[in-house]
Chain A
């Protein structure tokens, strides 16, 4: 063995390996979403699972995103057939409970799924604190440029998408993003003027017949 030559040659590998190691800090599919900074695409979607007190909403009512302005909104796209959604469920669940008195609304958006398996999933997973709406024709998912489930969108008090998380969300991300968005709300200290109390904040728009129809 000629160790001297061998070790010199091995140096060739270093830049390649450094490049790969650096590559891991990137997600190639994470093409910067054009959404952050823009208005979140509006939707009116029917509630499919009610959530738990104090943030319940009656099943069948319609949630109108625009009516939630003034609060921070966390939109979590999920499905009962999605394995990664199970991973993040506990995190979301605990976070939503911890922040239920804060000016932040959590909303699940059921994607390519049916009501029955979704309810069964929630039951099996030990509940879901916040209500979910049904994106029955995936139109909202398309508007948001959904890549897959789970994906989570953070919307600020003015209705702009502030941050998008592809894949399971972590407690650190939730804390960082939600805290900063709450702090940025117009009424420092939390409560936007237009919103009273907690559940009442979900100013429900009248259910539009079109939104309830089937595709």
Chain B
């Protein structure tokens, strides 16, 4: 399981090593415990400690706490302006003109964390064209893969479910 996490962090050019003994999996969802929780948690829990993400059909879907952990490390990241922050959390892709700074890989196909001006992680995306190339500022350059607006989308889903 730690390999899954470190491989995922590696997609952002980051290194992440977690204690294998503290990672638990339950119904395809992965959690990071601390020593106290580890000593007391029973097998049939629903949620425990820090949620790291879920594995579905062999694909890993990271949680936002995991993305925030990666963002604390040296990793591919872009910082976006306020308008782009709002559009991104609404599920939209990122235009060149909304990016303030770029760190780490700028290459097409790379994954990058998306941060606001306060360096808070809003989610992540995939770079669609080399960010250091001269491009039209109105062009979409980062595809939204996952953003914190998902919490609202999930809330609506729970609210409407019978």
- Pairing of A with B: no
